Amino acid sequence: MAVESRTTHAAPGPAQPLIRYLLWATAAALGVTGAAAAVVSAVSGFLVYQYARARGQWGTDEPPAGMAEDVSFPAAPSDQGSVQLSGWFFSAAGVGGGGQAPAVVLCHGIGTGRRECLPIALRFAAAGYNVLCFDFRAHGRSDGQFSSVGLHETNDVIGGVQYLKQRPEVDPKRIGVVGFSMGAVATIQAAAQCADIAAVVADSAYASFLEAVRYSFRVVARLPHFPIASVAMHWAKWLVHVDPSALRPVDVIGRISPRPILVTHGTLDEIVPLNHAYTLFKAAEEPKELWIVPGARHVEARDLDPDDYFERIERFLGQALNPAGLVSQVPAAQAQASAVPTV
């Protein structure tokens, strides 16, 4: 059956130029919007990849000969599969005859590695603590393709604690954790899950990852957090398998009680605003301490006055892990003499 086709030509009128203009404008707008969306997506994905990608060895410092043992251990099991971690174990000074001493796990920030914690590790070892400092997943010599800024690293901290419990030199009931930045977040979340952690020091932790990201985009990167941050969060879910809304140590810090926690932060922190420390401290239950360091930037308090910093956190851990004063205290100057200068 044939279909007759007819074309009707409307008489030109004043409405036709306006309609034609609107059609062209709509097409152009869609093209620009699509291109802009592609750029935002690409920039967001690139930022997530650069921030979370695996990193090699950070720093060049090494422990003095014979002081540290190269060790490896698995992270606690998770849906991310098996991850093998690499680190150093320092035996406590002055503890012999098969005696057990307390232990400290030192947890670095994102983009660095175990060497970030080397100076303070030597101080703790000289003061009578066993010490474990290790590379988080996707850092240094540890396995892993991506960092998760504290979420999956929680299992790394728990894995370190479980490893220490197997060491004959370690008193399994006296294990503390000290974390810096991302490491501080991981220690808070690990202690909320793992009762084997007896005390926590959290230096420069965020209370909510999303709030920290918004601040970082707005103040640090000088970029609008919307829509870039929002798109970046979707990239994080797909690429790193992290739900940023789950990165909220403020929601779990209260579970650490009755074990003690020390929250410390610098007043000039340019990465994580000071109010995050107050938020975490308010959410924590007793026993708890808050130490605000005037003039310190992000994770800078330990560098501004290393002696005062070590004495402050060692005093906290000494009381938490050794109520009977079982650890032999070593003067800060003597402990500092064992440290390796940062290159």
What's the chain look like in SS3?
CCCCCCCCCCCCCCHHHHHHHHHHHHHHHHHHHHHHHHHHHHHHHHHHHHHHECECCCCCCCCCCCCEEEEEEECCCCCCCCCEEEEEEECCCCCCCCCCEEEEEEECCCCCCHHHHHHHHHHHHHCCCEEEEECCCCECCCCCCECCCCCCHHHHHHHHHHHHHCCCCEEEEEEEEEEECHHHHHHHHHHHHCCCCCEEEEECCCCCHHHHHHHHHHHHCCCCHHHHHHHHHHHHHHHCCCCHHHCCHHHCHHHHCCCCEEEEEECCCCCCCCHHHHHHHHHCCCCEEEEEECCCCCCCHHHHCHHHHHHHHHHHHHHHHCCCCCCCCCCHHHHHHCCCCCC
Considering 218, 246, 274, which residue would you say is the last residue of a domain?
246
The predicted pLDDT at position 107 comes to 98
The predicted pLDDT at position 10 comes to 44
Same domain membership, residue 304 and residue 240: no
Residue 125 lies in a domain: yes
Residue 325 lies in a domain: yes
Same domain membership, residue 136 and residue 118: yes
Q: In which domain, by residue range, is 71 found? A: 58-208+247-337
Same domain membership, residue 325 and residue 254: yes
Residue 15 lies in a domain: no
Same domain membership, residue 161 and residue 257: yes
For tokens 């750029």, the residue is 39
Residue 258 lies in a domain: yes
CATH number of the domain at 192, please: 3.40.50.1820
**Residue 165 CB burial class (10 angstroms; 0-12, 13-18, ≥19):** middle
Same domain membership, residue 295 and residue 274: yes
Residue 9 lies in a domain: no
The predicted pLDDT at position 333 comes to 39
For residue range 46-105, list pLDDT tens digits in order. Answer: 666 666 778 889 999 999 999 999 999 999 988 767 899 999 999 998 776 668 999 999
Instruction: Find out whether 52 and 240 touch, Cβ atoms under 8 Å.
Output: yes
The predicted pLDDT at position 326 comes to 43
The predicted pLDDT at position 219 comes to 56
pLDDT string in tens for the chain (343-residue length)? 433 333 344 444 445 555 455 444 554 554 555 555 555 555 555 666 666 778 889 999 999 999 999 999 999 988 767 899 999 999 998 776 668 999 999 999 999 999 999 999 999 999 999 999 999 999 999 999 888 889 899 999 999 999 999 999 999 999 999 999 999 999 999 999 999 999 999 999 999 998 888 886 655 555 555 555 666 666 566 666 777 778 999 999 999 999 999 999 999 999 999 999 999 999 999 999 999 999 999 999 999 999 999 999 999 999 999 865 444 444 443 444 444 333 2
Same domain membership, residue 295 and residue 318: yes
Considering 220, 246, 272, which residue would you say is the last residue of a domain?
246
Same domain membership, residue 177 and residue 110: yes
Same domain membership, residue 124 and residue 29: no
Considering 196, 226, 246, which residue would you say is the last residue of a domain?
246
How many structural domains are present in the chain? 2
Same domain membership, residue 220 and residue 143: no
Residue 2 lies in a domain: no
Residue 10 lies in a domain: no
Same domain membership, residue 154 and residue 97: yes
Same domain membership, residue 237 and residue 159: no
Calpha distance 210→215 (Å, rounded): 9
Residue 236 lies in a domain: yes
Same domain membership, residue 169 and residue 218: no
